[in-house]
Amino acid sequence: SQQGEEDPQALSIQEGENATMNCSYKTSINNLQWYRQNSGRGLVHLILIRSNEREKHSGRLRVTLDTSKKSSSLLITASRAADTASYFCATDGWDDYKLSFGAGTTVTVRA
């Protein structure tokens, strides 16, 4: 079942700007992951953050997790045209390793 909600639904920014998107979920989680999907393609794993972690970095990506608010954010710094894609968060639970995906944020980076 889909438990994540993401906002904004769509985001349009200029190349070089930062893009921030948020994900909220409803039940307690084990891990939260972010994926990227280019139009009509499969998913590419970006980063995983465990429920006992608060922040994680990977290159130009920064993910935060606030389990008290049941929310996570993904920040892409110094965006590039190639970052244009849809971004999804996905959670898994302690008893159930199936992934539950958020609705996604479509990011458009204008050159």
Binding site for other proteins (CB under 8 A): 1-2, 30-31, 33, 35, 40-45, 48, 88, 92, 97-104, 106
Helices (H), 1-111: none
Q: What is the dihedral of CA 78, 60, 12, 85, to 10 degrees?
A: 140
Closest distance between other proteins and the C-beta of residue 69, in Å? 21
Closest distance between other proteins and the C-beta of residue 43, in Å? 4
Closest distance between other proteins and the C-beta of residue 6, in Å? 9
Q: Which residues pair with 101 in a beta bridge?
A: 90
18 versus 28: smaller Cβ distance to other proteins: 28
Closest distance between other proteins and the C-beta of residue 100, in Å? 8
20 versus 30: smaller Cβ distance to other proteins: 30
Pick from 78, 38, 32: nearest CA to 59: 78
- CA–CA dist 20, 37 (Å, integer): 16
